[in-house]
Amino acid sequence: MKSRKIRRTVLFPLVLSCCLTLMCSCGEANSGGTAATQTPQPGKEVTAIILSSETIEITVGDTYQMTYMVLPDGAADQTLAWKSTDEAKVIVDEVGIITAVEEGQANIIVSTENGVYATCKVTVKEPSAYDRLDEDEKELVDALLAGIDKFYDPGSVSLKYAYHHGTGDSWAITVSAQNQMGGYSEKDYNLYEDGRLEEPVFNHVRMPGNYYDLDLVNEAIKECTN
């Protein structure tokens, strides 16, 4: 079965990418993770550190590689020190890899021996409800979302019961959803992987076992429909 996985990728600004290419080709800057293009010159000090971003947003457990430029290229000492202002929220290693620990905010400060520094504000968010689902729960949510337009108000849909049939890719579900009169109705369906919803001949007999975390499942459905 295919399941949808929400992925978050942090993109570096195009302007910085162009600057890195232009300045390195001209021999005026040294970008993070690459060797200097000029021999270090005694007495030539670092004058600036340019980070790939001044603000980033990442999810708890995710990592982010900060890239940077040190100006000018050929400075005698380009050693950088990285630190986080709140390691309970964000940590950073000696090469600028940031790890999100807990929801909140912290600043990452990178500095040189001669006092030049740059700062990036990091906001850490909790994973989405969908990302916290297990694979079986994601398959259930994906199937329901594929057919959710059947309902008058898709944003009002929630599952009251879900049971995966032992054979085939289908579930017995009970759905609560807003009706055209403004109230809510509950109805049983057989849900298939492709999103088809069929009303059973007889109401479902609720089976033991095969339980889902319906609170989390319904939170994920809300995220994806609102």
User: How many angstroms separate the CA atoms of 112 and 156, rounded?
Assistant: 54
E strand map for the chain: 30-31, 48-51, 55-59, 63-65, 68-71, 81-84, 90-92, 97-100, 104-111, 117-125, 158-164, 170-178, 184-192, 197-198
**What is the pTM for the complete model shown?**
0.64
Model pLDDT for residues 81-102, shown as the tens digit of each residue: 999 999 999 999 999 999 999 9
CATH of 14-125 among 2.115.10.20, 1.10.3720.10, 2.60.40.1080, 3.30.420.40? 2.60.40.1080
| Close Cβ partners of 210 (under 8 Å, ≥ 6 residues apart) | 163, 164
Confidence of residue 71 (pLDDT cuts 50, 70, 90): very high
In 3D space, the residue among 222, 66, 34, 81 whose CA is nearest the CA of residue 144 turns out to be 222
pLDDT value, residue 165: 86
E strand map for 52-183: 55-59, 63-65, 68-71, 81-84, 90-92, 97-100, 104-111, 117-125, 158-164, 170-178
| Spans of all domains in the chain | 14-125, 129-225
Model pLDDT for residues 153-183, shown as the tens digit of each residue: 999 999 999 999 877 789 999 999 999 999 9
